[in-house]
Amino acid sequence: MRVTLYPTAESLEQAVLAGGTAVVFDVLRATSTIVTALAHGCRGVVTVVDPAEAQEVAARLAGENIPVLLAGERGGEKIPGFPHGNSPLEFRPEVVGGRMLVLTTSNGTRALNLAAGRAGTVLVGSLLNARAVAREVCRLGRDVTLACAGTQGEFSLEDALGAGMVVLEMVKMADPGWLYCSTPGASGLDLSDFAVAALHLALAYKDNPRRAFDHSLHGRKLFSMGLAADLDWCASLNTCEVVPVVGEGKEIIPGCPVIVRS
C-alpha cells in the first residue's frame, strides 16, 4: 500500500487521487470539531468554503424543516453573525444531537472539499481518532493520501503530526515489531518521504502530543486567544472510535460534501 502525504490544501490542488483513499487533517481545529460533533450525535456535517454560501445552505435545510446549526471561523474567531464558532467544545451532545451542522473554516473545509472532488473515499482524521482511521484505511486496503490542510498555504506541525499518528498506527498494525528492530519499509507499507517525516514527528510527540501545539504557529495563536481548553481537547490521542466519511451522493449544494459517521 502506497502512503503519500500532501502538506497543504494548496498542494492538494495539483494532486491526482483517483480511486484511492484520502484522509484529511486540520487538527486545530476543523477536523477535530467534525469528529467531536459526529461522536456527539450530529446527523451530518456540510462543509462549505464561503461564509455566505454556508448561511444559504443552513437556511435551505431549515426551510426543509431539517434541524441545523450554522458554525464557522476566520482567523480563529467566530464569524460575526454566526451562532457558533469552530471550537469542538461547543458541540456537546445536547447542542448538536440529531442536527445537521453547516461548517465553514479558514483551511480545513477547503481541504475537505478539494479532497472530496478527487479521491474515491474521503475520511476525516485528527489526533482524537488516529487509530480508528488507521484501522479503516487498512480495511479499505487501497493506496492512501494523507491530506494536511496547513495554515494559509504554510506547512502546519499539528496536521503533519495527525497524519504521522495514523502512519504510526498503520505500521504497528502491519508489523508490530517494527518499532524495536527495523525500518518502516519492513512493514510492507510504501511510504513517501513526507510520510516518513510525519511518522518521525509522531514518534517525537507520541507521549505528549499537546506539546506539539506549544511549538506550532497556530497552536500558539489559539493559546494567545485564550483557547487552551480547545488545545487540550484536540490533543486527546485515540479517545474516539468515530471515522467520519464523505457520504456518497449526499451533496446539498454542488461541491459541498456531507460528512457522516462511517
DSSP string, 35-93: HHHHHTT-SEEEE-SSHHHHHHHHHHHHHTT--EEEEEEETTEEPTT-SB-S-GGG--H
Using Cβ positions, the residue closest to ligand MLT within the complex turns out to be: 105
Considering the rule CB under 6 A, would residue 36 count as an interface residue with ligand MLT?
no
Binds ligand MLT (CB under 6 A): choice among 28, 68, 127, 231: 28
Considering the rule CB under 6 A, would residue 26 count as an interface residue with ligand MLT?
yes
Considering the rule CB under 6 A, would residue 86 count as an interface residue with ligand MLT?
yes
Binds ligand MLT (CB under 6 A): choice among 72, 76, 219, 244: 76
Considering the rule CB under 6 A, would residue 30 count as an interface residue with ligand MLT?
yes
Record the cell numbers describing residue 124, joined without a space. Answer: 476525516
Record the cell numbers describing residue 204, joined without a space. Answer: 517525537
Q: How far is the CB of 35 from ligand MLT (least distance, A)?
A: 12
Question: In this complex, which beta carbon is closest to ligand MLT, that of residue 79 or of residue 132?
Answer: 79
Binds ligand MLT (CB under 6 A): choice among 73, 90, 158, 169: 73
Give the max Cα distance, the chain.
59
What one-letter code names the amino acid at 239?
T
The size of the interface with ligand MLT (CB under 6 A), counted in residues, is: 13
Record the cell numbers describing residue 138, joined without a space. Answer: 487498512
Binds ligand MLT (CB under 6 A): choice among 51, 72, 88, 108: 108
Q: How far is the CB of 121 from ligand MLT (least distance, A)?
A: 22
Distance CA 6, CA 180 (A): 28
Distance CA 198, CA 12 (A): 17
Binds ligand MLT (CB under 6 A): choice among 9, 21, 24, 29: 29
Contact predicate 27/162, CB 8 Å: yes
Distance CA 243, CA 241 (A): 6
Record the cell numbers describing residue 253, joined without a space. Answer: 449544494
Considering the rule CB under 6 A, would residue 11 count as an interface residue with ligand MLT?
no
Q: Could you tell me which residues are beta bridge partners of residue 145?
A: 4, 22
Compose the 147-186 pattern: x for residues touching ligand MLT by CB under 6 A, - for all others: --x-------------------------------------
Q: Which stretch binds ligand MLT (CB under 6 A): 1-9, 26-34, 202-210, 252-260?
A: 26-34
**Three-class SS state of 146:** strand
Which parts of this chain interact with ligand MLT (CB under 6 A)?
A: 26, 28-30, 73, 76, 86, 105-108, 149, 222
